[in-house]
Chain A
């Protein structure tokens, strides 16, 4: 009884962290330039595969995580400065361009991996197996995801609240025109945010490989998760995104353990409920 509940909560927290890693970048990108990045889920999926490849070539788990983050940051910076920047202000064109990138990444991954799902061959021994304090069983890899997620959340929080660039980002989310008028270089900041956000997605994908496996389906699924989390938490609210990810992940795993039938649609139901009861999201109204 207690052990099931504990496992559900641990799994829920780990899933929350994956949700958070994909949704935080999506939320920042949307908040700053009103860009809906349909390729965000594909960055998550691509990060998973990059990490998988690097780990299977070099055998180093942390190198894989790092490579996924860096590769996605570079790819995102190229996409942003080469394509998206020239179509700013044209919402439909931006949607089409990111869709095109998603289409290319999806089919590229299909070409290489097909319908197979892959996981790491080697991970460090201290995150393998389980911990058993009393009746509770804790999967060490999921614990690792939780720790990683909290570190990243703390890092992004500090970046937003303690650095000058973070100040510009927050100002831009609040009112981008005013931030520009006051002399902030929002364009360069946006490139940075786009790259960092995508790097977080790639890192999330890399972390997911050891638990839910890397497969091509991740792209579209996690794109939807990212959007749902951002809607639940409130557009443009970073704290809201974090709490919404916690809520959604834990609810999903509780359902998965006790009412498996409802686990799949749980996020959808949560999003629909939030939209009906509080359309601006859990913490959306606070900043305005």
Chain B
């Protein structure tokens, strides 16, 4: 119990942020529902960018075949929903397992050239062969041809109970996160100051709860596509949060330290006595399973899965842009980068159309050139000061 309290205290800001994102959906319902879909897309792509960052940022492997895992994940979920009686969660589990298996297979194939540029091109070749196979006429029953195969809507996305669980569960999270954060920052206050602060903040949280309950009673009678939007949003966000904390845990574990040491100097790691091949295989399997899961989550968003839109190597190049823009090897950076770029595209596309992609390419080159550590990297390591300290200095 004390351990839990400690965790809550050290993670109160992330918890509050996450809770805030969960609390956003009622607001979307009143103002702009399609915007929730943009965020859903950002969450799913962020999971993919995280899997990419895990490989490049922590193990130093530049995998251009990452979209193989993503695409297979999407296809497996579509197959499971189409051809079997299993529900969405089992389908996601299958996607995850297939991603891990493909990661192991890929590492066994490239075993002789499992580093640097040769690995990059080998994995690129792998995904391009699968892509061209899937576009052949013989594979039409499996791939769905040009049009792709339809993804039936998973039951969980339509259910009202899922919404209730998500809504109350994560509003609770928000409340706890906010209260702990406020408590942490008001500890030095005198009792006279502390009591009103707590009262006001409790009032705000209560207000949010009231708002959400109102909204929930609205959802009970809402059209099914609205419920679908809300459920998809919550589900993807929950997975993003879970995967984020999972990866953060893994990269600070002993295994993660070995990965980072492989990134820094593989020969030395090998000389110390680690079997680097096994560690790289593990990294590829973990990253593959996460990418597979991302594909599975993205499938109901796409509605149809076709080889051209899930195996495209440019999906991977985009993930690379997200990770590098936010900061390689920071995890937060991958999510931030995906958010910035996708929002930019969302707002600029109606204005300048395809020129957005060119603008993004230019921004990417600029970032590589002038802030090689990415946004999060530059903010957190400048002069050994944290971002919060810098802000505090600027204010005082």
Contacts and interface: CB of A to CB of B under 8 A. Distances in A.
A-B complex is real: yes
Interface of A: 36, 83, 86-87, 90, 93, 95-97, 99-104, 106-108, 110-111, 220-221, 224, 227-228, 231, 264-265, 267-268, 271-272, 275-276, 279
Most A CB within 10 A of own CB, among B112, B133, B368? B368
B364 A103 contact: yes
Which residue, of B117, B121, B324, B369, has the highest number of chain A Cβ atoms within 10 A? B121
Nearest to B112: A275
A284 B362 CA distance: 37
Contacts of A275: 112-113, 118
Given A99-B320, A265-B129, A108 B368 contact: no
Contacts of A267: 125
Contacts of A97: 365, 368-369
B313 A220 contact: yes
Contacts of A87: 369
B128 interface: yes
Contacts of A83: 365, 369
A176 to B, nearest CB: 18
Interface of B: 62, 109, 112-113, 117-118, 121-122, 124-126, 128-129, 132-133, 313-314, 317, 320-321, 324, 353-355, 357-358, 360-362, 364-365, 368-369, 372
A107 B354 contact: yes
Given A93-B368, A264-B133, A103 B361 contact: yes
A168 to B, nearest CB: 25
A224 B357 contact: no
Contacts, number: 85
Contacts of B112: 275-276, 279
Nearest to B360: A103
Q: What DSSP secondary structure best describes chain B's contact surface?
A: helix
A107 B361 contact: yes
The 6 closest A-B pairs by CB, nearest first: A104-B361, A107-B357, A111-B354, A100-B365, A103-B361, A96-B368
B109 A272 contact: yes
Contacts of B113: 275, 279
B59 to A, nearest CB: 13
Given A101-B365, A107-B361, A224 B128 contact: yes
B317 A228 contact: no
B361 A100 contact: yes
Nearest to B365: A100
Contacts of A228: 121, 125
B13 to A, nearest CB: 31
